């Protein structure tokens, strides 16, 4: 139970060199073949397949949902992905296309990706996505207000959207590439968690600087410290720039060492990456057959 909200004007100090060196060490771990195979399957099950383009059509969303439901066709026994993430206007279509698959529908909201709108618009945006059937909401924080030092504004906005969400899980996107320093990433993580975020998420995928292992490490350590203080588990979602299976395995090694086995499932960790699914499938087929299949064998959408 959260009994006290910290003073967000106090800046947590992050050892930049230490974080970057520790994150680099996770990439040096060697994995046995059976561990690698299990890790690839786990990573696949943690993916939020995503299409967030102005040119999205009903057909494109249907194709993405078909892919989500049929990834295992060439390799029976594979798990499904965790969710399909779309704009609010496409939630109803995705919900129908996914049917009883058990795959969740996530929707971006709150004037994604900029967050530059009024609170009333953000609330209505969220309510519309939920009314269409969204299981999860991915909101963006108001980075402009954050940089102005208006931390209570950011806190209150997240808390308001969480209240609107009700039972739907809320992922709070920090857009870490726009925050500037690890200290600010830690501060934004703390604000989001104390305000009621169910997930903290690195990025929108709409700017060149997306998820990195050092940034994700800072956020995982924030989750760990929050859990020690409050007893409440928070989930993590690195998003953007994670397109290779090998890199996904590095993230899972880091997740296990920082937060432990209790976070090693898609309730508590997600990858925001669509192209990652294809590379994982290629690696799994290599494990199974001994040869790589061309990427042309897998749908891009």
| Positions marked active-site | 138, 201, 237
CB 239 within 8 A of CB 212: no
HSE-up of residue 83 (Cα within 13 Å, Cβ side) = 24
List 104's β-bridge partners, or say none: 83
What totals of helices (H) and strands (E) does the chain contain, helices first? 11, 7
- Token couple for 63: 């194709």
Tokens 């040869």 correspond to what residue?
Answer: 291
Q: SS3 for 30?
A: coil
Tokens 């997930």 correspond to what residue?
Answer: 199
Integer Cα distance of 112 and 213 in angstroms:
24
> Rounded to the nearest 5°, which phi and psi values hold at 198?
-90, -35
Integer Cα distance of 141 and 166 in angstroms:
19
Angle between helices 16-26 and 213-230 (to 10 degrees): 100
Question: Could you give the C-alpha distances from 162 to 78, 91, 144, 159, 205, in angstroms and in order?
Answer: 33, 19, 20, 5, 22
List 271's β-bridge partners, or say none: 47
What burial class does residue 100 get, using C-beta atoms within 10 Å of its C-beta: 0-12 exposed, 13-18 middle, 19+ buried? Answer: exposed
- Token couple for 41: 């399957």
CB 233 within 8 A of CB 198: no
């Amino acid at each position: 139970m959260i009994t006290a909200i910290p003073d967000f004007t106090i800046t947590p100090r992050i050892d930049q060199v230490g974080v970057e060196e520790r994150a680099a060490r996770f990439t040096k771990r060697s994995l046995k073949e059976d561990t690698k195979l299990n890790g690839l399957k786990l990573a696949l099950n943690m993916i939020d397949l995503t299409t967030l383009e102005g040119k999205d059509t009903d057909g494109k969303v249907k194709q993405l949902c078909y892919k989500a439901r049929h990834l295992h066709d060439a390799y029976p026994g594979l798990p499904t992905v965790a969710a399909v993430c779309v704009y609010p206007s496409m939630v109803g279509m995705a919900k129908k296309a996914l049917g009883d698959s058990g795959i969740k529908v996530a929707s971006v909201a709150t004037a994604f990706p900029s967050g530059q709108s009024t609170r009333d618009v953000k609330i209505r945006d969220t309510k519309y996505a939920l009314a269409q059937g969204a299981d999860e909401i991915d909101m963006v924080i108001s980075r402009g207000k954050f940089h102005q030092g208006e931390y209570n504004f950011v806190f209150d906005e997240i808390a308001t959207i969480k209240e609107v969400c009700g039972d739907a899980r809320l992922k709070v996107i920090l857009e870490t590439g726009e925050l500037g320093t690890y200290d600010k990433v830690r501060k934004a993580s703390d604000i989001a968690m104390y305000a009621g975020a169910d997930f903290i998420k690195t990025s929108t995928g709409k700017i060149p600087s997306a998820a990195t292992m050092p940034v994700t490490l800072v956020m995982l350590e924030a989750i760990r410290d929050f859990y020690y203080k409050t007893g409440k588990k928070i989930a993590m979602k690195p998003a953007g720039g994670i397109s290779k299976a090998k890199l996904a395995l590095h993230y899972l090694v880091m997740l296990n060492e920082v937060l432990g086995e209790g976070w090693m499932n898609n309730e508590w960790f997600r990858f925001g990456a669509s192209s990652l699914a294809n590379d994982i499938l290629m690696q799994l087929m290599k494990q199974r057959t001994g040869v790589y299949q061309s990427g042309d064998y897998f749908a891009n959408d």
